[in-house]
Chain A
Amino acid sequence: MDNFEFLEDDFAFVGENHESKKEIAPPVTPFFKDFMRRLGKNKGACIGGILIVIIILIAIIAPMVSSYDYAEMNTAIQSTSPNAQHLFGTDRYGRDLFTRVWQGTRISLFVAASAVIIDIIFGMTYGLISGYFGGKVDTVMQRVQEIINSIPSLVILTLLLVIMKASLFTIIIALMLTGWIGMSRITRAQVLKVKEEEYVLASKTLGAGHFFIIFKNILPNIFGQLIIMSMFSIPNAIFYEAFLAFLGLGIPTPQASLGSLINDGFKSILITPYMVIIPVIVLAILMLSFNLFADGLRDAFDPTMKEM
């Protein structure tokens, strides 16, 4: 300290105008930007997201540009192994499997997406009503939900498809019947949480009606969670569709889904294993991608919410 050189104005006050006196507000990253950054950092989510896009694109384009029709039979080329004309080979009716696999992926994705959308609409409505109005309404609705939930979904699914003959529409309905509960639970939990928040109370005291509060205050807040949940539900729906198809309760021929292709291929698994392996691999990659992407979404959305 002794040989320290003081400057002339060292012991003058800095005063109010000095730069350092101004509060340096920490840079606030907007939530969405921060969310995208975290998502981008997650390798699994990126790979999953890219794979999903690629598969969807192929599923849309491949059947359109293919020189074969998915239902076109040709007895001259029954059960040929993959070759240059038929990249995935042909099935035992001589149908081009490349076209059929991507057509099937298209159907599987369509079924899953439709089921999940209906899940969201129904589950969200159920959860909203139950959580928002509370009291007796809530109690009754929760009991009903509990009982439905305690019937194993495979029992509901199989029996339902036995009653209603399997078709695209009935499969979607059957999937929806077992899938909405998760959505309803999340919605209800969120509604109960958000309901007590101050801004909702504030709206109420200002005389806002039920619909206003639900649409303006509550829905925007639970949307993120529902999107994440639906990303988890899609692979689940794809799986159940394949499961039903495998039990012979799938979409009727000549239509194809990944599940029904696996089921068909399984009948001759020992002779022509490619017929089952290819759709199985597409199914596995599709489910894996959705799960990876959903995992990443959840972590990016709320880094603290690791387990749901």
Chain B
Amino acid sequence: MNKSTMKYIGKRLLISAITLVIIVAVLFLMLKLMPGTPFNDEKLTEAQKLAIYAKYGLDQPFFVQFFNYMKNMLTGDFGVSFGIVRNMQVSDLVGPRILISFGIGIAAVILGTVIGVLLGIYAALHKNTLADTLATIFSVLGVSVPSFVLGLLLLLLLGVTIPVFPILYESSHPLRSSVLPVIALSFGVIANVARFTRSEMISVLASDYIALAEAKGLDRTTIIRKHAFRNTLIPVITILGPILVNLMTGSMVLEQIFSIPGLGRLLVEGITVNDYNVVLAVSFLYSVLYVVMMLIIDISYGIIDPRIRLGKGD
């Protein structure tokens, strides 16, 4: 890794950090605009409410509250829950759920990308055949049918009609319980990746350097393996960003459908009971995940593609 690469990564890191601070500020501001407070209990007197506000620092001016929040956040303290589990540390509430949500998400990405790439390459190599048409129909279906529709159908089919998998998440059987949500989530990933890989592979195969490889007298397998593969797969990294966004929304609904105790469900619960700190922490976590993934995609693309890696400046 040379100097300009380091400089580029440094710059990107800084931009990401600034973006995150702005996001926290926006989120914080939005939550302050939220109607009602967690303490809307009518049994509470005004005096009692004020006492509670004072206890949680909610009587301070906005900027003080924000500053305190940022300061605590840096030490991993996201405050306490006001509603879901009164006075429980948000970090304790969120911690175990991260693993569940991420586990399912990562499994779906890996499964979806691998199958999608294979499918896309197969379709490109058998362009305009029946297999290609079927793969295309499958991709269009996968791209247009939202994962929660698929989740619901899977739940009815494999959870109710033929009860192979549990319809509700069982913490004692995390693997078995994750099968249906992972399939539902990965469907869209497969479709997106396959579609992109196919068109990328087709344009690579039509390129001059493939013609040169052919003119060198290499056989088709070697040409595809040595020359087409890498050039096809590098751009696939770039679509993982948009896919991640789909996955995040998809997983939020799927967690509802299959009652998975993950981040998405926590966010929805937090919203329904006006639990500021939980909503803030989960939203922030989603944003961090998104920003960091974008950063990783960007940098890894630069490292893998020699044109960017060794290019002048950034």
Contacts and interface: CB of A to CB of B under 8 A. Distances in A.
* Bound together: yes
Contacts of A288: 140-141, 144-145
B287 A152 contact: yes
Interface in B228-259: 245, 248-249, 252-253, 256-257
Interface stretch (A12-20, A69-77, A125-133, A242-250): A242-250
A24 interface: no
B268 A292 contact: no
Which DSSP category, helix, strand, loop or mixed, fits chain A's interface?
Answer: helix
Interface string B280-314: 00010011001100100000000000000000000
Interface SS, B side: helix
B271 interface: yes
A278 to B, nearest CB: 12
B173 to A, nearest CB: 19
B162 interface: no
B22 A246 contact: no
A246 B256 contact: yes
Nearest to B200: A307
Given A152-B286, A152-B287, A273 B22 contact: no
B26 interface: yes
Interface string B1-42: 000000000000000000100110011001101110000000
B84 to A, nearest CB: 15
A9 to B, nearest CB: 49
A104 B245 CA distance: 26
A146 B153 CA distance: 37
A239 B246 CA distance: 11
Nearest to B288: A152
A218 interface: no
Interface stretch (A54-62, A87-95, A207-215, A279-287): A279-287
A225 B44 CA distance: 57
Contacts of A283: 146, 149
Interface stretch (A29-37, A78-86, A112-120, A153-161): A153-161
Contacts of A152: 245, 248, 286-287, 290
A273 B156 contact: yes
A150 interface: yes
B180 to A, nearest CB: 14
A262 interface: yes
A44 B140 contact: yes
B70 to A, nearest CB: 17
Interface in A255-280: 262, 266, 269-270, 273, 276-277, 280
B152 A276 contact: yes
Interface residues of A, number: 42
Nearest to B33: A163
Interface string A209-248: 0000000000000000000000000010001101100111
B245 A153 contact: yes
A243 B253 contact: yes
Contact of B144 (A163, A243, A290, A307): A290
Given A159-B30, A247-B256, A273-B160, A150 B290 contact: yes
A279 to B, nearest CB: 10
Contacts of B271: 158, 162, 247, 249
B22 A147 contact: yes
Contacts of B146: 239, 242-243, 283-284, 287
B279 interface: yes
B35 A284 contact: no
A105 interface: no
A142 to B, nearest CB: 13
A93 B271 CA distance: 27
B253 A247 contact: yes
A25 interface: no
B199 A287 contact: no
A190 interface: no
Contact of B294 (A150, A163, A276): A150
A96 interface: no
Contacts of B245: 152-154
Given A147-B19, A151-B290, A249-B271, 7 more contacts: A154-B249, A240-B249, A243-B252, A266-B257, A269-B152, A269-B160, A270-B160
Interface of A: 44, 146-147, 150-155, 158-160, 162-163, 165, 235, 239-240, 242-243, 246-249, 262, 266, 269-270, 273, 276-277, 280, 283-284, 287-288, 290-292, 295, 306-307
26 contacts: A146-B19, A147-B19, A150-B19, A150-B291, A152-B245, A153-B245, A154-B248, A154-B249, A154-B252, A154-B286, A155-B27, A155-B283, A158-B268, A158-B283, A159-B27, A163-B34, A235-B144, A246-B256, A262-B152, A277-B156, A284-B149, A288-B141, A288-B144, A291-B143, A292-B144, A307-B196
Interface of B: 19, 22-23, 26-27, 30-31, 33-35, 140-141, 143-146, 148-149, 152-153, 155-156, 160, 167, 196, 199, 245, 248-249, 252-253, 256-257, 267-268, 271-272, 279, 283, 286-287, 290-291, 294
Return the 9 tightest CB-CB contacts between A and B, nearest first: A291-B144, A288-B144, A155-B283, A287-B144, A152-B290, A154-B249, A159-B30, A284-B145, A163-B33
